[in-house]
Structure 1
């Protein structure tokens, strides 16, 4: 097996891990929310559910970006494929930042003011 072929398989495996992270994260988030609602009969499950779901999407996006980088740069490094990769990474990075803002209420580069170690 040649190196490009091996890297293509590695990239595909990481793609699968990314999709699995999103699907499993959504299932686990839903399970936790339903269990929380059932046990406490609480109506305040939306925010934690949304936060957990957003975290699983963020994790999946990170894996998908890594897989795209491996498959594009290591396997087919043409100007067209690198350009397409740049657009994909830009879109996924924007989505990640937007999700981060929704989950934590701050941009990724801002300090966490609720943390005990934050100034």
Structure 2
């Protein structure tokens, strides 16, 4: 009985963390789109300030994406703890590898564009 309740609690926690990760990504996209539209309306095509602003917007969006992906990995780990089947372990390993791969290259690209 306690084990079932614990699994349910962990599953709900995982869902909440997953929702938080989605909100981080959605917030980052909203902020980036708002900044991009403002920049495009005001921009001078060859202005250094406009290009710098675009780079800053891209950096911030990348940061939100990275944070969101890392939080999603945490949600997946908690979900696997709640339901530790071999199928869940394989699914978790696959998701972690894919998200880590994406995070690594996104982080690398962001550092190169600084």
The bucket for the TM-score relative to the shorter chain is 0.7 to 0.9
1:9 to 8, 12, 24: 12
TM-score, L = length of structure 2 = 0.81
Unaligned runs of 5+ in 1: 107-113, 115-119
Structure 2 matches for 1:79-90, cutoff 5 A? 79-90=86-97
For residues 107 and 17 of structure 2, the distance between their equivalents in structure 1, rounded to whole angstroms, comes to 22
For this pair of structures, how many residues does the alignment match?
Answer: 106
CA contact (8 A) 2:39 2:54 kept: no
2:100 to 70, 93, 98: 93
- The structure with the greater share of residues assigned to helix is 2
For residues 96 and 107 of structure 2, the distance between their equivalents in structure 1, rounded to whole angstroms, comes to 16
Alignment root-mean-square deviation, CA: 2.2
**Secondary structure of 1:99's match?**
helix
1:28 to 3, 28, 31: 31
The alpha carbon displacement at 1:47 in A equals 1.8
TM-score, L = length of structure 1 = 0.78
For residues 5 and 66 of structure 2, the distance between their equivalents in structure 1, rounded to whole angstroms, comes to 32
